[in-house]
Structure 1
């Protein structure tokens, strides 16, 4: 259930037609991108989703989501650095689950 809610929030945040940000975009945007990919990665792995499928799909979704924002959503723009932050979130998510499981043993 948590995984499903996080995936829904993930998709809404990435594909909402318009995001109004007051003032300059700062590093907090990149933190948000890391979290948008880290949380579903952790939740999916803990829920038992096959790691190869989950990680592969999220890693592919990172650059694809930026391309879709750039080309299909007129009020959004794609950013290569956002895709890098997204991929960082996937890596951090996998790492945290692997380390957490190793520490519990």
Structure 2
């Protein structure tokens, strides 16, 4: 009996979301004015929600995905504060990142539940 495997190409969006996250978090700051107050918190939330959502949607294991991305939140701010000269760490960015992880989990849960119901 052949076990069903997820096609490799389905992981491409997850990888793309992670690369986007790394670019947003570690590239030198553009220095331009944000379009509105706290825009950066919205961006932080989104770049953590998207990979969690996509990873769980393609059924990667829940616990390692959530732990890895939740751990990356404070690590990224420490790296920005200590190793990247044109970046600064912000504890509120960690909060926004963790909110993003939670939103990604919730959105994936709702999406998978809806897909199961629609079968």
Q: TM-score, normalised by structure 2?
A: 0.81
Deviating above 2 A after TM superposition, structure 1's stretches of 4 or more consecutive aligned residues are 21-25, 99-105
Aligned residues of 1:19 and 1:76 also touching (Cα < 8 A): no
Counterpart residue number, 1:94: 105
Counterpart residue number, 2:71: 60
**Pairwise CA RMSD:** 1.6
Q: Number of aligned pairs?
A: 105
1:79, distance to aligned residue in structure 2 (A): 0.3
Matches within 5 A, 1:13-92: 13-22=24-33, 26-92=37-103
CA deviations over 1:78-102 (Å, ceiling 9, x no partner): 0000000000000000011112223
Counterpart residue number, 1:10: 21
Unpaired runs of at least 5, structure 1 = none
Unpaired runs of at least 5, structure 2 = 1-11
Q: TM-score, normalised by structure 1?
A: 0.91
**In terms of Rg, which structure is larger?**
2
